[in-house]
Amino acid sequence: MSAIRLLVLGAVRMHGRAHGYQVRNDLEYWGAHEWSNAKPGSIYHALKQMAKQGLLLAHETAPSTAGGPPRTEYEVTEAGLDEYRALLRDAIRSYDRNMDVLSAAVGFIVDLPREEAVALLKERIEGIREWRDAVTEYYTPEEGPESLGHIGEIMNLWVHSADSGAEWTRGLIARIEGGAYTFAGEGDPFVGVLAEGEENPYATGVPDPGDND
Amino acid sequence: MSAIRLLVLGAVRMHGRAHGYQVRNDLEYWGAHEWSNAKPGSIYHALKQMAKQGLLLAHETAPSTAGGPPRTEYEVTEAGLDEYRALLRDAIRSYDRNMDVLSAAVGFIVDLPREEAVALLKERIEGIREWRDAVTEYYTPEEGPESLGHIGEIMNLWVHSADSGAEWTRGLIARIEGGAYTFAGEGDPFVGVLAEGEENPYATGVPDPGDND
DNA sequence: ACCCTCGTAGTCAAACTTGACTAGCAGCTC
DNA sequence: GAGCTGCTAGTCAAGTTTGACTACGAGGGT
């Protein structure tokens, strides 16, 4: 599963009501185009698809107030909210070798109660441990790891990266348990969206982090 | 770019001439279905697509010798070999936040001369360093990193993972420079494909590494 | 008045991916 | 010798992703 649905649902929800271009701008503001497949086509596709599936409610709105073609505004439905929370919990809990889903989830993690966030992150660590054990066993033939030749380096890479992921997760748990950030029900939430008309401070004029996909 | 083209080209090349099912088996043998999108549909699609583009030559072959429908065998063309080498070099050299392309490339790295492998890996480290610098600067606003709130954790995750990737790369360079593995032009290469009729020792009966994508 | 550029908002075809499905043959059992 | 299972080999429709493209209007210059 890609991160696009979680990102789009989360962005629309933070606005209450948003059109595609606004979502697109938020995601750029968050740098999501750097670490996920948040491109215009994907965003508009996800909006339409989720509207068709009843996760979003589409309002055909009047022509833009700021030039350009008319735009459609979306709102998250009850079902959409359920889906959002399910995706969010799942993204935090389960170890996926692609970091985009996790990155998106970290962006929304404060939407959960602090205790739940910590619990999910601990589940994550446990999942990494299980995955690591299974992989090392799977890739350790009877004749010893040498019989794999350089292929063993692939396993080495995964295990290295799993360990690194676990370490980062432990660090995050420590910071959250230490009182960092403002979680659900703890007062004014951190606002990470661009208001109508507000300009994106990261949009341009900044050295490009070298997109070498 | 996904890893599928590199994987398929590499697998066909190792056989000299292979049909889709053979490629599919090799990729399972390598565990590629665990860490890349190497599913039947993708493999057959890639084969057809690359045949259409002249990277592979398709032979319409007689019905299978072992039951089942007739099969098409493929061979890598000159252009396909160029493409293979370009993909391989690029995958080793450039830092991509998805590990599947790199994993595939590690599987084929011994296809290059030892010196070139090391040189490409050093380029990779340099690329990681540049990417890291750009990202940390991009995500360090004037008001200090605290103004990002929990969003800063996303950057933290990337940087952590970049550092881990660099560390793994340095380790691999050290092992290669220390004489590990057999590279191009150094004698009998390591053979990592299944011959016709050979059974896949990892195919079944092994604990599944828990696919929680 | 006219043109040019820039930002806004979104569409589209082509390519790729996914997961379920089909169909043929071998060997076994009953 | 009929039916069943399991392996071989691949197809297909539905969904997703990509990157290039379109169209509209504001504002500035001339």
| Per-residue model confidence as pLDDT tens digits over A154-189 | 989 999 999 999 999 999 999 999 999 999 989 877
Do A31 and B213 lie within an 8 Å CB cutoff?
Answer: no
Q: What is the CA radius of gyration of chain A?
A: 20
Do A98 and B94 lie within an 8 Å CB cutoff?
Answer: no
Q: How confident is the model at residue A148 (pLDDT cuts 50, 70, 90)?
A: confident
Query: Which chain B residue's Cα is nearest to A156?
Result: B168
A42 touches strand D (CB under 7 A): yes
Beta bridge partners of B57: B75
Helix B4-15 to helix B78-93 angle (10° resolution) is 130
Is A174 within 8 Å of chain B by CB? no
Q: How confident is the model at residue A197 (pLDDT cuts 50, 70, 90)?
A: low
| E runs forming strands in chain B | 18-19, 56-60, 72-76
pLDDT reading at A209 higher than 60:
no
CA–CA–CA angle B196, B198, B203 (5° rounding): 120
Distance B45 CA to C13 C1' (A): 18
Nucleotide C23: nearest residue by CA–C1'?
B69
pLDDT tens-digit map of B14-42: 999 999 999 999 999 888 988 899 999 99
What is the pLDDT, as a whole number, of residue A68? 61
- In which residue are the tokens 């259409």 written? B52
User: A74 — phi, psi (to 5°)?
Assistant: -125, 155
Are B36 and A159 in contact by the 8 Å Cβ rule? The answer is: no
Residue scoring higher pLDDT (B202 or A173): A173
What is the pLDDT, as a whole number, of residue B151? 86
What is the pLDDT, as a whole number, of residue A193? 66
Tokens matching residue B97:
């936040």
What is the pLDDT, as a whole number, of residue B212? 43
Query: Which chain B residue's Cα is nearest to A1?
Result: B213
Specify the DSSP element, H or E, that contains A59: strand A56-60
What is the pLDDT, as a whole number, of residue B188? 77
User: A126 — phi, psi (to 5°)?
Assistant: -60, -40
Q: How confident is the model at residue B60 (pLDDT cuts 50, 70, 90)?
A: confident
Distance B199 CA to D6 C1' (A): 15
Is B170 within 8 Å of chain A by CB? no
In chain B, what residues touch A155 (CB-CB under 8 Å)? 31
Are B29 and B45 in contact by the 8 Å Cβ rule? The answer is: no
Nearest CB among B102, B165, B181 relative to A149 is that of: B181
pLDDT reading at B203 higher than 70:
no
In chain A, what residues touch B161 (CB-CB under 8 Å)? 99, 161, 164-165, 168
pLDDT reading at B208 higher than 80:
no
Distance A62 CA to C1 C1' (A): 30
pLDDT tens-digit map of B158-201: 999 999 999 999 999 999 999 999 999 888 777 766 666 565 55
What is the pLDDT, as a whole number, of residue A199? 59
Tokens matching residue A204:
């341009």
What is the pLDDT, as a whole number, of residue A61? 77
Are A89 and A120 in contact by the 8 Å Cβ rule? The answer is: yes
CA–CA distance, A92 with A107 (Å, rounded to integer): 11
Is B138 within 8 Å of chain A by CB? yes
B36 touches strand D (CB under 7 A): no
Looking at residue B100, its amino acid is: D
pLDDT reading at B90 higher than 60:
yes
Nucleotides in chain C near protein beta carbons (<7 Å): 7-13, 15-21, 23-26
Query: Which residues between 91 and 110 in chain B have a beta carbon less than 8 angstroms from any beta carbon of chain A?
Result: 94-100, 102-103, 106-107, 109-110
What is the pLDDT, as a whole number, of residue A141? 62
Residue scoring higher pLDDT (B166 or B207): B166
Distance B140 CA to C22 C1' (A): 56
pLDDT tens-digit map of A59-112: 987 666 666 677 899 999 999 999 999 999 999 999 988 899 999 999 999 999
* Residue to substitute from B5, B139, B153, interface A, most A β-carbons within 10 A: B153
What is the pLDDT, as a whole number, of residue B88? 97
Q: How confident is the model at residue A20 (pLDDT cuts 50, 70, 90)?
A: very high
Question: Which percentage of chain A shows pLDDT scores above 70?
Answer: 82
* Residue to substitute from B1, B112, B140, B154, interface A, most A β-carbons within 10 A: B154
Kindly state the average pLDDT of the residues B68-84: 91
pLDDT reading at B129 higher than 60:
yes
Helices (H), A139-190: 152-177
User: Judging by DSSP bridges, how do beta strands B72-76 and B56-60 pair with one another?
Assistant: antiparallel
What pTM, to 2 d.p., does this model score?
Answer: 0.87
What is the pLDDT, as a whole number, of residue A210? 39
pLDDT tens-digit map of B135-161: 888 777 666 656 678 888 998 999 999
A20 touches strand C (CB under 7 A): yes
